[in-house]
Structure 1
Amino acid sequence: MNAKDKHTIYTLLKTADAYECGFIREKFAGEPVFGDDTETNHTVVSTPSTGSGTATTVSTENLGLTIEELNAKILRCTRCGLARTRNNVVPGMGVMNPQVLVIGEGPGYDEDMQGLPFVGKAGVLLDRMLAAIGLDRKTNCYIANIVKCRPPENRNPLPDEQAACFSFLETQIHILKPKMILCMGKIASEKITGQSISINQRHGEFFEYNGIPVMPTYHPSALLRNEELKRPAWEDLKKFKKYLDQLNSN
C-alpha cells in the first residue's frame, strides 16, 4: 500500500472517531508521516515530536461541539440493547465548567421516567451530601452516569453496555473540564480509574483521570441500605472538600 492510500484510511478513521466522540483522542493526535510499503510489506509510521514528550490534542472548541450538541447525540443513541427498554435517556445535568463532576452508575426508575440524573431517593440524599460541602448541581456541579439508559430492574450495567456508552462520558469530561471528579460506587470508580476497586477498602483515596483528581466513595443507594456507611462517606466528603479548597486557593 502506498503512502497516499494509508493517509486516506487514517483520515477516515480520525474523522469517524472525532464524530463519534466529539473530539480527537490522543491516539489520533499529531499528523503521522506514512511511507510506501517496502518489499517486506512493513508500514512506516512516525509522529513528529511536540517538544514536550506528549501528544498534541485538538480541543472541542476547534470542533465547535457544545455540551448541548453532545447531549442531543446522546438522546438519539441506539448503540446497545438498553435503548430498547428505556423510557428516557439521561445525559446529565448541571453547570458548565463545574467545580466537580459527580459520576454515578446509571439511571434508576425515577431517572428513567424523568430523564434527569439522581432524582429518586438516592438523588435526594446525594443533593444533601453535596450541600454539606458547599456543592450543588445548580451552581457548581455537573452530574452524569457511566451509562445513560436504565438497565432493566436496576441491574448493574454490563461491560459491553458500559463500553458502548463510555465515549459520551469521556467527551462530557473533555468539554466540562471539572476540577475534580467524585465517583459514586464501585462501577463508576472502576470505569474511571481503570482499576479493580473495592469501595470498602479504597473509598476516600485519590486517583487521577487525565490529570483530574478522582475520589471513589459510597453510592447514596448503599447509604440508604446501610446507615453505618454514612460516617465513612462523610469523612470522604470532608477530605474531598479539603482537596477542592486547596485547588481553588492555588
Structure 2
Amino acid sequence: MTDSREVLTRPAPPPDLTLRYGPLPDHVIDVRLPSSGAGAPLVVVLHGGFWRSAYDRTHTGPMAGALAAAGYVVAIPEYRRTGREGGWPGTFEDVATALDAVPSLLEPYATTPPVVLGHSAGGHLAVWAATRPSARMRAVVSLAGCLDLAMCADLRLDDGATDLLLGGSPTEVPDRYAAADPARLPLPTAPVKLLHGTSDDRVPIEVSRSYAARLGVPLRELPGVGHFALIDPLSRAWPAVLEALPR
C-alpha cells in the first residue's frame, strides 16, 4: 500500500468556527460541527509534524471533515512549535491550556468530555496531556505516536526533532525527558488506545510497541499501513481509526 503524503495538501472545507484560547497567534482552535447539531460527542485532534513550525493544523482538514461527517464535534487546537517560539516548555503549555479550555469553549456544541486523538507528534502530546492531574478526557487515541521520546531521540527521527523539542538529548536534559516522555510517566486514568502501521517509515512501529509493553496498553498493528494513511479518510486504515473512537 502506498503511503501518500497527498492528504497533507488535499483541499478541505474551512472550519465552521475558530475560537481563541489565549493571546498568542497560535492560540486558536478550529472547530467543525456535525450535521446532527448540538450534543454530539467531542473529539480533540492534536496534529503531528514532529513538533515543527513547518506543519500546522491545516493539514488535518480532510480528517476533521470526515470526523464531523461521522457525527463528531471536532476541535483542532494550534500550538507553538519549534521554530515558532515552541519547544520546551511552550509547546506543552499551549497543549495543556487548550485542552483545559476546550470543554467550556465548546459547551454550546458538545456536552461530553473530549476524546483526544493525536497523530505522530500529536499522539505524543495527547498521551502526555492525559497524564496530568487536571486532565478530563473520555479516552485517548494515539495514531503512530511518538510515545517513547528517548527511543525517538536515539533513532534521530526527522533529523533530531526530539532533541530540538526538549533542548537536548536524554543525557543532556534528563529532567525534561522525565517530565515529557509518556514512556516514563504513569499510565493515564483515561483509557488509551494505540494504532500504528507496520510499514511506517516516519515513526517506526517499535516506538508504539515500546510504550505498549512498558505501560500495558493495547496496540492495534495495521499490516502494510504507513504513517499518513492513519489521517487519510480515503485510506483503508480509516475504518480502524473510527473504530478506536468511543461513541
TM-score of the two chains, using structure 2 as the length reference: 0.39
In the superposition, the TM-score normalised over structure 1's length comes to 0.38
Larger Rg: 1
